[in-house]
Structure 1
Amino acid sequence: MFIKSLDVSRERKTGIYLKEIIVSVIESIGQEHVIQFITNNGSNFTSAGDMLIGLYPQMYKMRCASHEIQLLLKDIYEEVNWVKVATDEARIIVMFMTQYTVLHAAMKEFTKDRQLRQPCATRFASNFLMLQSVLDVENELRLFVASSKWRGFDYCKTESAKRVTEIVQSDFWARGREVIKTIEPLVQVLRLVDSDGSTAGYLYEAMTRAKVAIKERCNSEASKYGRIWELFENHRVNNIIHPIHAATAFLNPAYFCSQNFREDREMKDGINFIHKNLLLIEEKHPFMREVQLYRSRPAILFIATAKTMLQTSHARIWWDYNGDDLPVLKKCAIRILSQPCSASSYLEKLGELPDFEYEEIHMDEDDNSTLTVEGYMDDLMDNDDIAWLDDALF
């Protein structure tokens, strides 16, 4: 639910200033309806978030998962040499082919008007969209650089053109496809959190599965996936996964009842976070009793209709329909499972207007959006068609 935007282009966006304008919004909504505050990693917003938590202790703050995954993709590009080399070679092709109008027009004759994508400076996943756009026209570019039309351009007698020809006629194509195949699971997580819906209960599982998929797609070669895993885990622990995400994974009944589920320390820490920060004093004891009952998968909770809804309904809807015997846990689960992980989808709706600052405050809303659980995640991780990337980014 979008409530308002503010033009702060002429203001000094200090932490105190941001805190004051956000407080005014919270008070207009009613603090009992505000659950989470999603922000970027700017020091002013971090400071504002800290002050907000001090004022509203039953609210929590987290970083925008979409933004943080973009930063992870940036680090992978910059620090994993085999990824960087193939991506930079694609950039050399794109920059040269689009530099001259006449040359670009001739290229499009060969590609049947299919375009080469330019990377976006602030959307680091677009590096891989650019690479994909080059891979999509492999045969056409091979024919173009071998044609008399290519040789007829003065531009194509330069050292830059010779470099492009070398790349097109090299093993770049196999290396480029390897990069796309490896990065795909992570960009699919980006696609998930960039969507306009309640995704908090799915991020933890998605990141877990993406990490495994990256290793598999590198044929378990440590020299390929090792550094990616290091970057992945650093960003996952420090910037992407909040304790709430681990708790919502535990409270997502479809994941909880799946063969892939493994209860871990992060999930217990997430439940502890809820117990410490989000409950009234009188709710704490019944909350823990109900967590333990849920954990035992009682037949009274997982009746036939509940089992069917594991495959058909969003986790929030499942709790709303089936959770009456665990009232405190039901209330908490519905509130946190209703939340998004990112502010990016809301910014895109606003058109990302220049000189405006937006942060998302998320409410306890009656969201009836449905996310297919296991099938959706399987589609994300098992799809070998790289056409997904275009939809994932734009």
Structure 2
Amino acid sequence: MATKSLLYVERPNIFWSSCATRTINLMLESIGKMKKFKSTIDQAKALTIFIYAHHKTLSLMRKYTKKRDIIRPGVTRFASNFLTLQILYEKKDQLRIMSQSDEWEKLNPVKKTVKGVQATATLVKPNFSNDVALCLRVFEPLVKVLRMVDGDIKPSMAFIYGEIKKAKKDTMVALGNVDKSGTIYNSIIGLIDVKTKDRLDCPLHKAAYFLNPYYSYNDPSIFESEEVMDGFISATETFYHGDYDKQNQVLNNDVHKFKDQVGHFSKMVALAGCKDFEFSPAKWWGNYGTQVPTLQKMAIRILYLTSSASGCERNWSFFEGVTF
């Protein structure tokens, strides 16, 4: 953060963005610490630790799950927990049968230890699978965003702001009748907003959201949002810092052609081409933004950005293992 401030003095036209993978993982960890979900996660952890700590329990588990492990690595520690919960829920019937089998009963003295008794209780507990299912429904919207920002399939800057907004809506649907008063939902949204503030809601993120027709052409109210428009204006002033003529061109001319779908933006093929989530916003601007070259340059540069540093961190970890 200190380096960022120093860089702004020398290069006022640069953008700074927090690592989206790190930020979303912090959101998930905070939600996972809520009383409603923490006990379920802790029980799942204790169960998996017990099973993997003894070769007999591990062998028995693999027999009943048809050699399917219940621990899988994810892009972050919490993503790994989520994948484990998924498998526990997927294999709940087989694991329950295992816990009631003669083979499990014969696991003495391992089964009679405190951890063994707790593991057995977890497996036979009627509400455990329901609690796991609720955790999965609540965490899945953000985990989807986590996978997107950590992937190498496409630049994610164009989608991060919009997908976090979508994740909030999906979380409300996931809670359904479980949270009739809305207390849990409001707590979750509060945690997401705290982690998002000044990290994933900067002018750069809002400008990318504004310029991505997948969102703005399918929901024109985005163009009327004061918060989003303020972010776009600020991003324009930074991108063309000190160049008033280009700022004027973008804000007083080019952006209106984009908003009003004038020229190439009005073509049926252009409108059809931005309805698929898998499309490339930057390439779309390369095709249809030629009549507004000043805005086109800014849009392409922003929409081609990634939003996560996790790929770099993996490379650093690899390079640390290289000896000369």
Shared fold (TM-score, shorter chain, > 0.5): yes
Correspondence for 1:217: 174
Matches within 5 A, 1:170-189: 170=125, 171-189=127-145
Q: List per-residue Cα deviations over 1:187-234 (Å, max 9, x = no partner).
A: 001111111231111111101110000011101621332211110111
Identity value in percent: 25
In structure 2, what is the Cα distance between the partners aligned to 1:355 and 1:273? 39
Correspondence for 1:301: 265
Structure 1 counterpart SS, 2:32 = helix
Which structure ranks higher in relative contact order (CA pairs < 8 Å, sequence separation ≥ 6)? 1
Q: Answer whether contact 1:301 1:325 (CA < 8 A) is retained.
A: no
Correspondence for 1:378: none
Query: 1:124 and 2:78 equivalent?
Result: yes
| CA-CA distance at 1:96 after TM superposition | 0.7
| CA-CA distance at 1:300 after TM superposition | 5.0
**Structure 2: 5+ residue stretches without partners:** none
Query: 1:284 and 2:247 equivalent?
Result: yes
Correspondence for 2:317: 352
Query: 1:265 and 2:226 equivalent?
Result: yes
Structure 1 counterpart SS, 2:231 = helix
| CA-CA distance at 1:299 after TM superposition | 5.0
In structure 2, what is the Cα distance between the partners aligned to 1:134 and 1:195? 25
Structure 1 counterpart SS, 2:197 = helix
**Structure 1: 5+ residue stretches without partners:** 1-45, 357-394
Picking from 149, 156, 160, the partner of 1:199 is 156
Q: TM-score, normalised by structure 2?
A: 0.89
In structure 1, what is the Cα distance between the partners aligned to 2:221 and 2:52? 48
| CA-CA distance at 1:118 after TM superposition | 6.4
Alpha-carbon RMSD across the aligned residues, in angstroms, is 2.1
Structure 1 counterpart SS, 2:16 = strand
Correspondence for 1:364: none
| CA-CA distance at 1:175 after TM superposition | 0.7
In structure 1, what is the Cα distance between the partners aligned to 2:73 and 2:211? 38
In structure 2, what is the Cα distance between the partners aligned to 1:118 and 1:294? 45
Q: List per-residue Cα deviations over 1:103-125 (Å, max 9, x = no partner).
A: 21122111211112167896222
Moved more, 306-315 or 61-70: 306-315
Query: 1:48 and 2:3 equivalent?
Result: yes
Q: Answer whether contact 2:161 2:200 (CA < 8 A) is retained.
A: no
Q: Which runs of 4+ in 1 moved over 4 A?
A: 118-122
| CA-CA distance at 1:260 after TM superposition | 7.6
Q: Answer whether contact 1:255 1:261 (CA < 8 A) is retained.
A: no
Q: How many residues align?
A: 309
